[in-house]
Amino acid sequence: MLGLSKKDTRFLLIVVFLTLATPILLQPFPEGSALAQFNAGYPDLMQRFAIFGIFAIGFNILFGLTGYLSFGHAAFLGVGSYTVVWMYKLLSYNVLPGLILSIIISGLFALVIGFVSLRRSGIYFSILTLAFAQMCYNLAYSVLSNPKFNLTNGETGLQVYINDPQYLMGENAPTSPHLFGLVMNESSKLEIGGWVFTFNNGYYFCAIIAIFAFYLSMRIFRSPFGVMLRAVKSNQQRMTYTGLNPRPYTLAAFVISGMYAGLAGGLMAAMDPLAGAERMQWTASGEVVLMTILGGAGTLMGPVLGAGFIKYFENIFSKINDNVLHSWFAVLPDGLENFLVDVVHPFVGKGWHLTLGILFMLVVIFLPGGLIEGGQRIARLFRKKKGPRGKDPEHHPKETPHVAE
């Protein structure tokens, strides 16, 4: 189906089901319970899962397949956000024109940056992409915020004002991001017992785009183009000796990856009509690297899992403060309660980075293939065949037949 093998089709259908059922799956604990703190089924966080999943999928096409490590993908994320907000200011709050243009503009940026950066490889390539990203950040933060041609609005961030032209804005059109009248920030809620499930328009809009982005990455991974990218990662020098020029393939991967990043940046502005230079900082580029490595570079689902893992920690563990900890250990004697709160405190709240850092080190040391490798090891344990009950499961090879038989 859709150009995929039977196995890939089955895998894609599972991904589609999990994505569409996310508002239910991420709300496992009833409202008001002590564990409701760990629920992640609210619109803002679900949108981030989908958006950064797209960002990581695109980055994986470059890093996971070719081995080229870019520290400058945040530049394309910022370009996508600025493009969508400018479409709001000039046309209307309809997200579609801005998203289409964000993919095109970020692709052009990636073409220029990739053409220069891919003249080098290894650490030199990484440094070049980082330098370009920091140049874009400084341009957005200061140079392009000059009152004569204020394209970015500096540290305040680009946003829509009442006096903006918005030439295609109708009289009864929504005054917030929408898709032909379907407002992104609107939600419907379903209450079942103690559970409250939120179904948000913006999340499902991002989710459908994320599914399509994932499907496209599957086609790239399984295509002859994907095989050539793996050849670049495996042994670029040997590939050159065969008469194949790897640069067009790596440049194409870089541009596709940049377009994914621009789409993710555009979706961030589609959910919140604001674009700031902080989205171009080197930390944002480093974050997508962590997502990809943590989930499993070079795998289809790994970057998505890594993005969800990091965003979950950022939004859930960062909100656990001392009051929450005291409520958890309230049944214990006061001395023990205070002791446990003091022990756990450095790892949650503002210290959530410490917990994430420890988990990241454990994954890199014990699971070099990321979370996907961990899942594969668990699956192999369950699939391991056991011998007959009460007998030693020895291997008895069959006798080799005579040549004439």
Angle at 206 between CA 360 and CA 269, to 5 degrees: 90
Phi, psi (deg, nearest 5) at residue 178: -155, 165
Counting as low any pLDDT under 70, the low residues of the chain are 1, 385-405
Burial class (CB in 10 A: 0-12, 13-18, 19+), 329: middle
Query: Is the distance from CB of 222 to CB of 61 less than 8 angstroms?
Result: no
Q: Does residue 77 contact residue 347 with C-beta atoms inside 8 Å?
A: no
Structural domain boundaries in the chain: 36-287
> Cα 121 from chain centroid?
25
Length of the chain: 405
Q: In terms of Cα–Cα distance, which of 214, 227, 299, 219 is closest to 264?
A: 214
Which of the 8 DSSP states describes residue 332? S
- C-alpha closest to that of 170 among 86, 266, 94, 273: 94
Which residues is 187 bridged to in the sheet?
200
- Residues paired with residue 94 on neighbouring β-strands, in sequence order: 178
∠ CA 236-240-242, nearest 5°, is: 120
CA–CA separation, 207 and 19 (whole Å): 7
Q: Are 267 and 51 in contact (CB under 8 A)?
A: yes
* Radius of gyration from C-alpha coordinates of the chain: 24
Q: Any alpha helices (H) in 155-301, and if so which ranges?
A: 201-222, 224-241, 247-271, 282-295
Q: pLDDT tens digits, residue range 139-186?
A: 998 888 877 778 898 888 999 998 899 999 888 889 899 999 999 999
Helix then strand then coil, % of the chain, to nearest 5 = 65, 5, 30
Quote the pLDDT of residue 282.
87
pLDDT of the residue at 402:
44
Place of tokens 């319970």: 33
Of 343, 351, 288, 290, nearest to 317 by C-alpha is: 351
Residue 318 CA from chain centroid, whole number: 19
> What pLDDT is stored for residue 398 in this prediction?
54
Identify whether the C-beta of residue 184 lies closer than 8 Å to the C-beta of residue 23: no
Our separate counts of H helices and E strands in the chain read 15, 6
- Residue 284: closest CA among 185, 143, 136, 157: 136
Paired residues of 182 in beta bridges: 179
Per the CB < 8 A criterion, the answer to whether 64 and 292 are in contact is yes
**Residue 281 one-letter amino acid:** Q
Closest C-alpha to 325, from 348, 351, 358 = 348
Q: Strand pairing partners for 198?
A: 189
